[in-house]
Amino acid sequence: MDEIRNLFISIVQTPALLVGLLAVLGLILQKKKGTAVIQGGIKTFAGFLILTGGAGILCNSLDPFAKMFQFALNVQGVVPSNEAVVAIALVQYGSLTALIMFVGMIVNVLLSRFTRYKYIFLTGQAMLYVSCLTAVVLVSAGMGSGIQTILLGGIFEGTLLTITPALCQPYMRAITGGDAVAMGHTGNIGYAISGWFGEHFGNKEHSTEDINVPKSLSFLRDSTVSITIVMVVVYLILVSLTGQTFVEEKLSHGTNFIVFAIVQAGTFAAGFAVVLQGVRMILAEIVPAFQGIAMKLVPNSKPALDVPIIFPYAPNAVLLGFFISFIVGTISMFAMVAMHTVVIIPGVVGHFFCGAAAAIYGNAKGGRRGAIIGTIINSLLISWLPLFILPVLGNMSLASSTFADTDYLIPGILLGNLGALGQVALTTGIIAFLILVILSSRFITKPTTQK
């Protein structure tokens, strides 16, 4: 039993393998030749490995950024980091998390099959993290770790991972120019809010991607070149503020601090280029393969994929969103210091991925102004909401890290406050959430694809 559980956890924790297997299933259902099945499965698998490898490069290049930032400003507090807080929580809640995730996957597939929300959530690590959050909140509310908690947790997770891609899909159609893929990330609520603010307060006529560049500077249209130059400037400023001694003794292992800054900036740009290549491979393989699953198992379903899937559509918005989000997070941190609350230190990785996506969503229907407004709103959410989730995490509230994205924060806060009212209120709330999603799907009409 333990071996089967460990195998299941390992598969869902490895998005490349999970999505590769689904691509194989889709091609088999389409009765493709064996060679086509093998080719599609391997290329999807490899594409996801390339994407996650690129994301890892990005994260590694941002790690010294975060350390220099904290040292330069001399601040201590709670750093939102999904990976860190889940690693701590899994020690105590590992088995419960796995079982909730299994039930949640089944609920997601069933809702996709029998409602008009046709989104199969495929981001494995996000599924694991949502399951972990659900387990922590339910146990902290006094639910225990029995079958009731597993079923309720799975219903909550599966319903959440079905509805959040639906919230984002109107903007995904504007971003991608089609309706083939959905967003499968844990910042979806924030992205949908960013898109709404961008649409209503922005100006679609002036996109972040339409910035006029003089002919003499046309080389800046190459995203690798422009990202490298921008990040070199940012890193040079940061190492100057941090000081040569700290950088060379604590971070660069003796490498000159100027050279270290330039290499980290180039590494960031390289990671971004790797992510783009992985996205191209995935889209070329997973969408056609997924048609087999859609036709046979869940008609008209769409794969909900991880957030870097949208980066190629608006690379200027990616950088704009990162910097605006991080600046808003930094200002929020100083406000917390002045207010004598728990200090939420801006997590660089969270502000990069969520800030970038928020800007792309805001830009989709609101142009540059929409990107700026949408990013500010999303950054305020991920900067301040951690203060409100800490009280509902039980003994996990004492950790030096907490959950970072809106789809952990907003549902987690609501779930935790329901739990404070008692188990009956918590159970009623989760069942009501499921019923509300099922009923709301009856009012969904088939969208027209935007070109």
- Judge contact between 97 and 90, C-beta under 8 A: yes
Is residue 53 assigned to a domain? no
Q: CA-based angle 261:263:265, to the nearest 5? A: 70
Q: Nearest CA to 39 among 242, 395, 273, 289?
A: 289
Is residue 316 assigned to a domain? yes
pLDDT given at position 446: 57
Is residue 434 assigned to a domain? yes
Is residue 60 assigned to a domain? no
pLDDT given at position 330: 92
Is residue 167 assigned to a domain? yes
Q: How many whole angstroms separate alpha carbon 140 and alpha carbon 289?
A: 41
pLDDT given at position 111: 95
Question: One-letter amino acid identity for 91?
Answer: V
Q: What is the pLDDT of residues 194-240, one digit of tens each?
A: 999 999 999 988 899 887 656 665 565 566 787 888 889 888 998 99
Is residue 449 assigned to a domain? no
pLDDT given at position 450: 41
Q: CA-based angle 235:63:250, to the nearest 5? A: 80
Domain range enclosing 313: 2-48+75-443
The neighbouring-strand residues paired with 262 are: none
Is residue 43 assigned to a domain? yes
User: Quick one: DSSP state of residue 306?
Assistant: -
What is the mean pLDDT of each successive set of 10 residues along the chain, which is 451 residues long?
A: 72 74 85 89 87 83 84 81 77 82 90 93 85 90 88 96 96 94 95 97 90 62 76 90 92 93 91 84 76 76 91 91 93 92 86 95 96 97 93 68 90 92 93 95 61 37
Q: Give me 166's structure tokens.
A: 């639906």
pLDDT given at position 399: 57
- Distance set, CA 201 to CA 360, 372, 381 (Å): 15, 10, 18
**Secondary structure of 111-127 in HEC code, one letter for each residue:** HHHHCCCCEEECCHHHH
Q: What is the pLDDT of residues 406-428, one digit of tens each?
A: 999 999 999 999 998 989 999 99
Q: CA-based angle 130:86:153, to the nearest 5? A: 30
pLDDT given at position 300: 86
- Give me the number of domains the chain comprises: 1
Is residue 451 assigned to a domain? no
Residues 6+ apart with CB under 8 A from 43: 281, 284, 285
Q: How many whole angstroms separate alpha carbon 4 and alpha carbon 95?
A: 12
User: Quick one: DSSP state of residue 396?
Assistant: G
Using the CB atoms, write b or e for 288-305: b if 16+ within 10 Å: bbbbbbbeeebeebbbbb
Residues 6+ apart with CB under 8 A from 365: 171, 174, 195, 198, 199, 202, 204
* β 401-402/182-183 pair status: unpaired
Q: How many whole angstroms separate alpha carbon 65 and alpha carbon 239?
A: 9
